[in-house]
Amino acid sequence: MPGIRRTSARVRTLHATLAVVAAVAPLGAGSAARADAPARAAREWTTQAIAPGVEVRTGTLRNAGAAPSWTVAVRRPVTSRLTGAPADAEIGPQPWADATAARLREAGFQPRVETVRWPAYADTPQGTMGLRVRVGSYATQAQAQSAANAVAAAGFHAAAAWTGYDAKQPADVENIHVAVIDPRAFTGTVEATHDGDVAQRETTSSVAAKLGSLVGVNGGFFVTSDADGVQGTQSGIAAYDGQLESMASGARAALVLGDDGRHIRVADLTSTVTARADGSAYAVQGINRVPGIVRDCGRPGATPSSLPWQDVTCHETDDLVLFTPAFGTGLPTGAGVQAVLDGKGRVVSVGARGGRVPAGGTVLQGVGSAADWLTAHARPGQRIGVDETVRDSEGGRVRLGRGDSIVSAAPTLVKDGRVDIDAATEGTVDPQDVSFGYAWADVRQPRAMAGVDARGRLLLVTVDGRLAGGSEGFTLREAAEFMRSLGAVEALNLDGGGSTAMAVNGALVNRPSDATGERAVGNTVQVLPAGRH
C-alpha cells in the first residue's frame, strides 16, 4: 500500500519528533519542543500552561521534501449506491481510467493515471481502491482552473485540485493544536455543552467566551440545513449534565465525560428509548429532531438504510420522537399527533403538532403508526413512561447522572492503544461505492479529534486544513496515527471540516477553513475552571 507506507513513514518521524509532546511532559509555558529528525522536516512546538493540569501545545509540521502543486482532476459521473443521486467521483475502475486517459490524449492532453489504495482500516478491503486521472502540474490555482476549463470544454468533468491533500505524498505544512487536560491536577470541569438550547448554532469561541472556558473545541455532527431537520440539533448521541438530548446513529464512537470530566473514555454507543402506557410500548427513534427525518441515518426502520451513513439524510414513515426542555425553538409542525406531558409524564393535551415544549415538561410527536399509538394511548391525565438506555459495544450500560456528558461523531481512531479505524461500520466510507466518503475520509481535511491516554488525560486536538500552501490537514488514517503518537489509548474523530475550531481563554487559536470564518456549530466540549460549571 504505497500511499499508506509513505504516510506511515512521515508519522514515524512524528513519533520521534513528538517525543516530548507525545509524552505530554511539562515543557514550560512558551518553550519550544524539538527532537532529532531528518533535515527535510522542520517542526516548531510551543507549550502554554493555561491552568494547573491544563496545557496547550501548538505545532507546525513542515516537510521541505514535499512538493505539492495544482493539477486538474478528471472525474467520473456516478450514481450514489445509497441515495441514487448523481455525483462526480475522483476515482474509478481500471477500464474507466484507461478509456478516459485515451480520450484525453485524443483531445490533445497529456494525462497520468494514478493508483489509489485503501488505507489500513479495520473493516475495508486491502489493496487497490481505484484509479484517478489527472492532467498537468501548475504553480497556481488560477492556472489549474484555466486548464480545467479547457478539459471541461473537451467534454470531461474536471476541476482544479491541490496534490498536497493526497495521502500518497507527504503534506508540506500542517498546523496543529493539542490541549492536554489532566483530571488529577485540574480542579475544574470538562463537559459537552449545547449552551442551553439544542436547537441553536453558536461558534466554539463564542460559547467558550460566554462560559469563561479555558479550552474549547467543536463537538459532534449536527444538522446544518433546514432540509435535513432543525439546524444545530445533533445527528448522533448527545447528553449534557446527565440528560440524554439526542439518540445514537447506529453504534458510533462517542466521547464519554463522566463525573465532570474526571472519568473519560471513548466507546461505541447505542441508545434505546421506549414509551409505555396502558401496558403497551412503542419505540422512540429520536430525541429533539423532526419526525420522519434522520440525519446520518442509523435508526431502525429508516430508508434507504438503517445503518449509519455520514452526511446522508434518511427518512421514516412511522416515527415517534421525544422533545425535551432543551429544545428551545418552535416544535415541528405537519401531519401526525403530539402529546404534551407534564414533569411527571402525565398527558396534558393531545392534538396537532406545534407550539413549544412546556417548562419542566416534554412532548411526544408521532407520525404514521406512531401517531396511531399516541391517539390510542395518550389521554389527558394518562401517564406515559419513557425509559432510556445507553449501552456500549460490549453491552454494558452507561448510566448518566449529574456531571456526565456525551459527544459523538465518527469513526473510532484508536482502540486499546492501537490504530483501529472502523470507517465502514460507522458509515464514513462505503467499500461497495468508493465515490462515497473518499474525499471525506481519505483526502486531507481539517479535523478535530479527542482521546484519552494511559494516564487518564484528555487529549483535544485540531489540525487546520483546506489551506493550500498553508495547512493541509489529516486523512482519517493520519489523524489516528497522530493521536496514537500522542499516547492515546482511545480516540475518535470529532466533527471536522469547516467546523474545526479550538478556543483558548475564549479566543479562537486555529484557522478555520470556511471562507466566512468560524462556523457556528451544534455543540462543543469546554474545559471550565472551578466554579464555572
User: Domain map of the chain by residue range?
Assistant: 70-165
Provide the 8-state DSSP code for 471: B
Q: What is the mean pLDDT of residues 128-148?
A: 97
Q: 35-39, 63-67, 108-112 — which is least confidently predicted?
A: 35-39
Which set of grid coordinates corresponds to residue 90? 475522483
Query: Could you give the CA distance from residue 359 to residue 323 in angstroms, rounded to a whole number?
Result: 12
Query: Could you give the CA distance from residue 256 to residue 483 in angstroms, rounded to a whole number?
Result: 17
The continuous run of DSSP H or E covering 143 comes out as helix 141-153
Query: Could you give the CA distance from residue 144 to residue 130 in angstroms, rounded to a whole number?
Result: 23
pLDDT surpassing 90 at residue 126: yes
pLDDT surpassing 80 at residue 2: no
pLDDT given for residue 43 in this prediction: 62
Residue 531 pLDDT grade (very low, low, confident, very high; cuts 50, 70, 90): confident
pLDDT surpassing 50 at residue 38: no
Q: What is the mean pLDDT of residues 498-509?
A: 98
**Mean pLDDT for all residues in the chain:** 92
Query: Could you give the CA distance from residue 36 to residue 17 in angstroms, rounded to a whole number?
Result: 6
Q: Could you write out the DSSP letters of every residue in 207-264?
A: HHHHHT-SEEEE-S-B--SGGGSSTT-BSS-EEETTEEEE--SSSEEEEEEETTTTEE
List strands edge to edge, sheet with 458-463.
31-32, 41-51, 54-63, 173-181, 458-463, 447-453, 488-493, 412-415, 418-419
pLDDT in tens, 393-408: 999 999 999 999 999 9
Please give the single-letter amino acid code of residue 458.
Answer: L
Q: What is the mean pLDDT of residues 481-497?
A: 98
pLDDT in tens, 227-242: 999 999 999 999 999 9
Query: What's the burial of 153, exposed, middle or buried (CB within 10 Å: 0-12/13-18/19+)?
Result: exposed
pLDDT surpassing 90 at residue 11: no
Q: What is the mean pLDDT of residues 372-386?
A: 97
Query: Could you give the CA distance from residue 436 to residue 171 in angstroms, rounded to a whole number?
Result: 23
Is residue 423 classed as helix, strand or coil in its secondary structure?
coil
Nearest CA to 448 among 494, 517, 512?
494
Q: 23-37, 98-112, 436-450 — which is least confidently predicted?
A: 23-37
Please give the single-letter amino acid code of residue 20.
Answer: V
pLDDT in tens, 181-225: 999 999 999 999 999 999 999 999 999 999 999 999 999 999 999
Which set of grid coordinates corresponds to residue 206? 463564542
pLDDT given for residue 470 in this prediction: 87
3-state SS string over 310-325?
A: EEEEEECCCEEEEECC
Please give the single-letter amino acid code of residue 513.
Answer: S
Q: What is the mean pLDDT of residues 147-170?
A: 96
26-35, long-range: CB < 8 A, 24+ apart: 26/55, 27/55, 27/57, 33/57, 33/59
pLDDT given for residue 276 in this prediction: 98
Q: How many other C-beta atoms are found inside a 10 Å radius of the C-beta of residue 456?
A: 15
Query: Could you give the CA distance from residue 208 to residue 50 in angstroms, rounded to a whole number?
Result: 14
